[in-house]
């Protein structure tokens, strides 16, 4: 685990807080929202695709 300035191990975020990041004083969502279910329903990241656990919508990632 990475260490902070005080020598203590940095805790890993868990739960809904791990879906957001603060950049320049604004909240940024790290995962996309479901297009069918709307805001509040994040899609799970499965490597090559995003999937909604509520309605089952699957969106494949772009291959470069």
**Which residue would you say has higher pLDDT here, 53 or 8?**
53
| Residue 11, C-beta contacts closer than 8 angstroms, at least 6 positions apart | none
Tokens 């004083």 appear where? 25
Distance CA 46, CA 19 (A): 15
Convert the pLDDT of each residue in 20-43 to its tens digit. Answer: 899 999 999 999 999 999 988 999
- The dihedrals phi and psi of 62, each to the nearest 5 degrees, come to -70, 135
Q: Any bridge partners for residue 33, and if so which?
A: 42
pLDDT at 58: 96
DSSP 3: B
pLDDT, averaged across the chain: 86
Q: Is the pLDDT reported for residue 1 higher than 60? A: no
Q: Specify the 3-state DSSP secondary structure of 52.
A: strand
All structural domains of the chain with their residue ranges:
32-64
**Which residue would you say has higher pLDDT here, 2 or 55?**
55
pTM of the model: 0.64
């Amino acid at each position: 685990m990475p260490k902070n300035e005080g020598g203590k191990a940095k805790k890993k975020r868990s739960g809904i807080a791990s879906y957001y990041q603060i950049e320049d004083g604004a909240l940024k969502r790290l995962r996309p929202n479901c297009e069918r279910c709307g805001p509040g329903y994040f899609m799970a990241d499965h490597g090559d695709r995003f999937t909604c656990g509520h309605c089952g919508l699957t969106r494949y990632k772009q291959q470069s």
